[in-house]
Structure 1
């Protein structure tokens, strides 16, 4: 290859070899500067492009690394938070299990109370049979401030699973026990209320402070005719204006005077039972009035067919006088049912 210089142009000759045609190119003289300049510009553009591509790639890589690092930190924080939540859930589960055990013990105490209520209703005369209650556990739950100790052994998933199953079964069992106990408590409450009502309307109190009987129930010699007669109640000795009390709760159906009974009060206690209080000096209740068991209703006197101050007391069952003695069981006049 040879350059042939001219005035305004030069010739580029390419001689490939022997016996081959020589190739000639005529180029303007300015191309000697233009071509290298173009080549130089191309090279500069190429290197600039490579530089910016590398810079952009580096920035992109840095940005991606920052995003990745941020996501990694966020993921680590989430895992730490989840672990903390899991530990809190495990602690709550343990507390729930302990509370379930404590509630079991309280439930056993309630069962005891229920048993006592049932016994009370039986004692008061209500019908019913007692049910056996399970003996309370002797293991007492430990409080948070109790003195405890032991090795710090990590909890396994199997331990947690067993605790969950145990607590779940315990809670299901508690729900069943509570439902059964509520039903039984309602039955016991109804029995106790019935027993209390029966006790309140049963004339078991003595009508006077004194228990001195001057004439009992049954056949006796009449003090006025000196002939045998049927005495339909008790004559209780007492001083003038001593207090007279209702022997059971009920409604006053009679509060009046006649020549035989004097001032007398009849109280209806329902279920066919009535009591009568005769020869009173003063009546403190009126017909139609409701009275409570142990309430003061009059004062001892000697009105009507009487030889002296005393109280004639009768108990009537379905209109027939009966012996008051089996009913007079409670000594204290102010004892409530």
Structure 2
């Protein structure tokens, strides 16, 4: 029954008895559906939250592992950087030693002068070795210190590369100088032509043994026994092998650069014209052929076709003939 007001008509509804059961049942079913829906939503939400939590936990563990791994890698890189910096310092020391060796090589490339002397390398203080006894507090490095070490090491390595390139160029030049010095040494007549160093007649004016008048002696007479070996005093090319009444059996060798040597009064000649000879090679035997009073070797050095005193060239003993 609905009673709208005093002046309005009352409205009456008549419901069957069954509605007393149906309506509460419908309401109960609606409430049950609502709670079931809420339950399933809560359950799904909880499952979703758990799944997301598990995924987050997994990602968090993965990130922690990655951070730990990266931290380990950074520490290893820092350690490697320190080792690299130390190796760079050690390499600098070795490079200084190589530079000193290069200086020695440069001095070696300078040919000996006519008196057999050469420049000497001044002694230098020995390089200090690294001290293996270490200690100190364990203080972690800062990023600024690491950056500074990286910059210094990088700059040092660039400097080392420049030094190495310059040193390689200089070593190449020194090698060429040594080859040239060795070539010049090989063609310079610095050996004694026979084992004997006994000079029976020197270079210059003397009394001729045949005419007993003053005459110019253009070489050295070296005392020797018959058939003593005669050695060429420098590398070169044999340009004359022959005999005449004055020189007897004689050999002339051209050593280039305007230098020639002549070996006279030989008993036997062991080379031929046009043959190349090496320094210290045996080329003949001592004799007394030609204008001679006895067994000896007459040895001459010619420069630009003019006989000169052989004394400045006789600086190397027979035992050093191959050097």
SS at match of 1:193: helix
- Partners in 2 of 1:240 and 1:265 — Cα distance? 17
Normalising by structure 1, what TM-score? 0.85
Q: Does 1:41 align with 2:29?
A: yes
Partner of 1:97: 85
Q: Tell me if the contact between 1:273 and 1:316 (Cα under 8 Å) persists in the aligned partners.
A: yes
Partner of 1:324: 310
- Partners in 1 of 2:157 and 2:92 — Cα distance? 9
Q: How many matched pairs?
A: 317
Structure 1, unmatched stretches of 5+, are: 1-12
Q: Which of 234, 240, 245 matches 2:226? A: 240
Partner of 1:257: 243
Q: Does 1:117 align with 2:105?
A: yes
Normalising by structure 2, what TM-score? 0.88
- Partners in 1 of 2:192 and 2:126 — Cα distance? 46
- Partners in 2 of 1:201 and 1:138 — Cα distance? 39
SS at match of 1:236: strand
Partner of 2:129: 140
Cα drift, residue 318 of structure 1: 1.4
Cα drift, residue 20 of structure 1: 4.3
Q: Tell me if the contact between 1:206 and 1:333 (Cα under 8 Å) persists in the aligned partners.
A: no
Cα drift, residue 265 of structure 1: 1.7
Cα drift, residue 334 of structure 1: 3.6
- Calculate the aligned-residue CA RMSD, in Å: 2.6
Q: Tell me if the contact between 1:108 and 1:136 (Cα under 8 Å) persists in the aligned partners.
A: no
Alignment deviations for residues 147-189 of structure 1 (CA, whole Å, 9 cap, x no partner): 3221111111122122222222322332232233333333333
Between 1 and 2, higher relative CO (CA 8 Å, sep ≥ 6) is seen in 2
Partner of 1:273: 259
Q: Tell me if the contact between 1:251 and 1:269 (Cα under 8 Å) persists in the aligned partners.
A: yes
Alignment deviations for residues 295-334 of structure 1 (CA, whole Å, 9 cap, x no partner): 2222212223322211111111111211111111122354
**CA 1:94–1:137: 2 relative to 1, 3 Å:** farther
Q: Tell me if the contact between 1:211 and 1:236 (Cα under 8 Å) persists in the aligned partners.
A: yes
Q: Tell me if the contact between 2:270 and 2:284 (Cα under 8 Å) persists in the aligned partners.
A: yes
Larger Rg: 1
Q: Tell me if the contact between 1:245 and 1:333 (Cα under 8 Å) persists in the aligned partners.
A: no
Q: Tell me if the contact between 2:192 and 2:317 (Cα under 8 Å) persists in the aligned partners.
A: yes
- Partners in 2 of 1:106 and 1:285 — Cα distance? 50
**CA 1:260–1:139: 2 relative to 1, 3 Å:** closer
